[in-house]
Amino acid sequence: MRLWLFLLCAAAYGQDTRLVLLGTGTPNPDPQRMGPASAVISGDRVYIVDCGPGVVRRAAEAGIRMDQLTRLFVTHLHSDHTAGYPDLILTPAVTGRREPFEAYGPPGLRAMTAHILAAWKEDLRIRLHGLEPSVPEAYVVRAHDVKPGEIYHDQEVRVIAFAVRHGSWKYAYGYRFEAPDKVIVFSGDTTYSEELARQAKGCDILVHEVYSEKGLRRRTPEWQRYHAAFHTSAPDVGRIAAMAQPRKLVLNHLLPMGETPEEVVSEVRQHFQGEVIYGQDLEVIR
């Protein structure tokens, strides 16, 4: 019922929800690809999904104002998805945020947040009690350890978390964003998941991690075992998309392993013939 009300509002107010890829990379230090991070923009609200290295600079480059960086959703606590978290907490507080920062993610996020604030306590003390003009509310961080189900809603979006399998991680989530005019689903880091396909059924945009099956064959047995347990091959991404039938499939957290973008997309197309986008940093998808 709530989604139908969103859709009615979209028709009435001409909503334009869009996805901005802020980082499409992995732990590999590729200067063309920042760490995993995306922005869902609906109305004037910005919702960040994951916060890999470079997230704040990429957000500024995408035209996102610092006062808009108030909501974060973390899929899991791997370093490549969270190394930009201190930056996302601290930099906007200095440069324009005017309200508390809200972060949602799997169990462990609250503890991570507490340790970040403790590590930067001297910086916070000087920022708030020195001569520098400051907005105390901007330095307030409210971290929420969440369970699968609806975890957030406001007048722009409803967010549903669902469990995915990511190797030996006990808690790893995908997210479904329901905006008035669009549904955007994020796989997070995961292996093949029929639950993900169910959550993404008929969505407008499915953002899914990928590695090249052909490229993986050239890796050592140890790395082959690792990626098979933690990540999703391009043919399996195609299988998931074939079940979900998104309007657009966006490949993210890209591990081509020596293959070209065209070759990775061709692996996906073994099973899915819809629109496939090989993501690039700062790409805007509607």
Helix (H) or strand (E) run with residue 73 in it = strand 71-73
Task: Tell me the two tokens of residue 115.
Answer: 């340790």
Q: What average pLDDT does this structure show over 227-256?
A: 98
* pLDDT recorded at residue 109: 98
Instruction: Kindly tell me if the per-residue pLDDT of 7 is higher than 70.
Output: no
Residues above pLDDT 90, as percent of the chain: 95
CB 238 within 8 A of CB 210: no
On average, the pLDDT of the chain sits at: 95
Least confident of 13-27, 42-56, 140-154, 168-182: 13-27
* pLDDT recorded at residue 14: 63
φ and ψ at 190, to 5 degrees?
-160, 160
Tens of pLDDT, residues 29-45: 999 999 999 999 999 99
Q: At what angle do helices 261-268 and 234-244 cross, to 10 degrees?
A: 50
The residues spanned by each domain of the chain are: 2-285
* pLDDT recorded at residue 15: 82
Which is more confidently placed, 15 or 28? 28
pTM of the model: 0.94
Instruction: Kindly tell me if the per-residue pLDDT of 12 is higher than 50.
Output: no
| Centroid of chain to Cα 21 | 9
Between CA 190 and CA 210 the distance in angstroms is 9
Q: How far apart are the first and last CA of the chain?
A: 24
Could you tell me the pLDDT band of residue 165, with boundaries at 50, 70 and 90? very high
Proportion of the chain in helix, strand, coil states, percent, rounded to 5: 35, 25, 40
Q: What average pLDDT does this structure show over 170-176?
A: 98
CB 230 within 8 A of CB 193: no
CB 178 within 8 A of CB 162: no
Helix (H) or strand (E) run with residue 134 in it = none
Instruction: Kindly tell me if the per-residue pLDDT of 3 is higher than 60.
Output: no
Instruction: Kindly tell me if the per-residue pLDDT of 123 is higher than 80.
Output: yes
* pLDDT recorded at residue 64: 98
Which CATH number applies to 2-285: 3.40.50.970, 3.60.15.10, 3.40.309.10, 1.20.1050.10?
A: 3.60.15.10
